[in-house]
Amino acid sequence: MLKNSFLRSLYLLAFILFVSSCSSFNRPKEIEIDLIQTSDVHGSIFPYDFIKDKPVTHSLAQVSTFVNELRSDKNKEVVLLDNGDILQGQPPVYYSNYEEVNLPHICSKVMNYMGYDVATIGNHDIEAGHAVYDKLINEFRFPWLAANAVLKGTDTPYFKPYTVIRRKGIKIAVLGLITPGIPHWLPENLWKGIEFLDMVETAENWVPKIMEKENPDLLVGLFHSGHDYTYGGSTASEERNENASLLVAQRVPGFDVILIGHDHDEFNQWVLSRDSSRVLVLDPGSHARNIALAQIQLSWNKETKEYNKQIEGSLVSLADVKVDTSFMNEFETDFTSFKQYVSKKVGVFTETITSVPAFFGDSPFMDLIHRVQLEVSKADISFAAPLSMRSEIDSGDVYVRDLFELYRFENFLYTIELSGKEVKDYLEYSYDGWFNQMKSSSDHLLRFRTDDHGKLIKFERPPAYRLFKRYYNFDSADGIRYEVDVRKPRGERVLILSMNDGTAFRYDKKYKVALNSYRGNGGGGHLTEGAGIPHDELSSRILSSTDKDFRYYMLKWIEKNGTVDPVCNMNWKVVPLSWWKKGKKKDEKLIF
């Protein structure tokens, strides 16, 4: 009995040594591995803008060409990764998300066809809702990662935390993380049952486990999170930082490459980790305009019994890359269906509307959105902002595609309760991040910076405000009559004259206010930083929510009305002057 036990142990040890020696024997002495990353594609699947009804030079069809060319080189191994936010943007993904839900999703069809190896889910993918991303988990033929998105009250990941990709005996471990800011932007029903943990703490937990269990030759981070951890006034010590990718790179040793996204900002830098090792961090930007390429040369070192690594990173523009004709042929039927969908007529506009005047005062563009919000919600007051800087819809027939121009995001419409004082403070916050006090004729009325050619760079964060102000945070109001006096100091600019019908507006009265779900969940800081409502109190203020995104209700409203006359009711104005009404030199409009 003892002899048999000893022999079994001996055989087992011999087997382990044999497997181990085979594994080492099969490892290549030299190998090049190319990591190709897409991120924030936002529905740019085809080389066509379905909203503006014109071809474009960037899409997954161009990515497919680039990937296939690299794969044709038998001297290298190619790994294709996506970093999230693909399920929102262009109409094809909206159609697959909400219209034709019983067929395979266009993203699963395309990404499986292209041979993606792994992806991390993004916040706009969560925005599509459980029904969509739970369906895609099963349709994707590759793992969808997010180690810090866990079942609420546990440390069990809802998605797969990491995966191991094998190439000719080489083990590549990929850890996925998602920005934890989602509860501040999205309604809870979209992420019900999920909790989003701190990225640094999650990486500190998972990296040692991966190294011990998998002993990978390469460790790759695939993080749907940006590089600027100070964004919005945040600090490096802040828990659940929205853009913590560089914090992970600096504080959690072991990564060879970290691929990031979310912020739509191109990034290519080496970062020093706390153990003095260097990690390459790459971000390709958005909409498949570029891919991030990490070229890794591995050379076996007999003395150390591990690979020496030479890593080079680049961002490759797809502007001059041809479309993959095989890709287009494969999805020709889908492409035709999407064009037919966006070409459906929904109504008629008597006037052309554009978002540009909305930056300088009341406008027909914004008043149309306010009008629909007030009618759908039956609220007293409406808050809304232009969701695109350069949107325009021509007079005449209006099509489904135009609704994506008019309202960019898949927000729900909330009705919340605010006091008159909170309404006023909300607007003070909005306009303080919007308008400057002009000290001379060379100052800008708006809070933006321009380059040497007068081209807008970005809007600035106003002094003493925690959050950066973007154009989609420039909320105006309807339902009330008011003035914005840009001569006065912050906190004293907004004078509310009355309700639209002439009745008195009172600070101590409770009002029903219509706004989108992003704002209602604290996005932009209007309710928390501006109106001073604690974030954990916001949910108790919600009186009602639509069951579908607001764009759906706008479409139905236009269909019902047939012919729409987009007019401006001039319920608010900037004093002492109105820039847009008085006019400026034509070339100054080129800023937009």
pLDDT digits (tens, 9 = 90+) for 81-97: 999 999 999 999 999 99
Residue 23 covered by a domain: no
Question: What is the pLDDT confidence band of residue 445, given thresholds at 50, 70 and 90?
Answer: confident
pLDDT digits (tens, 9 = 90+) for 279-322: 999 999 999 999 999 999 999 999 999 999 999 999 999 999 99
Which 3 state secondary structure label does DSSP give 155?
Answer: coil
Q: Which domain holds residue 503?
A: 344-591
pLDDT at 165 over 90: yes
Give the chain's radius of gyration (CA, Å): 27
Total residues found in the chain within this entry:
592
Beta-carbon contacts of 218 under 8 Å, excluding residues fewer than 6 positions away, are 33, 170, 171, 172, 173, 256, 257, 296, 298, 309
Q: Which tokens go with 461?
A: 């964060």
- 394 and 531, same domain (yes or no): yes
- 281 and 304, same domain (yes or no): yes
Residue 16 covered by a domain: no
d(CA 259, CA 268): 10
- 265 and 355, same domain (yes or no): no
Question: Percentage of the chain surpassing pLDDT 90?
Answer: 80
344 or 233: which carries more pLDDT confidence?
344
- pTM comes to 0.86
Residue 446 has a pLDDT of 76
pLDDT at 203 over 70: yes
542: CATH: 3.90.780.10
What 3 state SS string does 399-424 have?
EHHHHHHHCCCCCCEEEEEEEHHHHH
- 300 and 367, same domain (yes or no): no
- Total domains in the fold of the chain: 2
586 or 498: which carries more pLDDT confidence?
498
Only one residue has tokens 């999230």, namely 84
Which of these, 384, 422, 437, 397, lies nearest to 506 by C-alpha position?
422
pLDDT digits (tens, 9 = 90+) for 341-395: 999 999 999 999 999 899 889 999 999 999 999 999 999 999 999 988 788 999 9
- 394 and 533, same domain (yes or no): yes
Residue 330 covered by a domain: yes
pLDDT average, residue stretch 134-158: 97
Helix 60-71 and helix 106-114, axial crossing angle in degrees, nearest 10: 20
Backbone angles phi, psi at 412, to 5 degrees: -85, 165
Residue 17 covered by a domain: no
pLDDT at 481 over 70: yes
Domain-ending residue, one of 315, 338, 361: 338
Which 3 state secondary structure label does DSSP give 50?
Answer: coil
Residue 399 has a pLDDT of 97
pLDDT digits (tens, 9 = 90+) for 177-188: 999 999 999 999
pLDDT average, residue stretch 331-337: 97
Residue 12 covered by a domain: no
Domain-ending residue, one of 288, 307, 338: 338
Residue 18 has a pLDDT of 41
414 or 432: which carries more pLDDT confidence?
414
Is residue 35 a contact partner of residue 220, using CB atoms and an 8 Å limit? yes
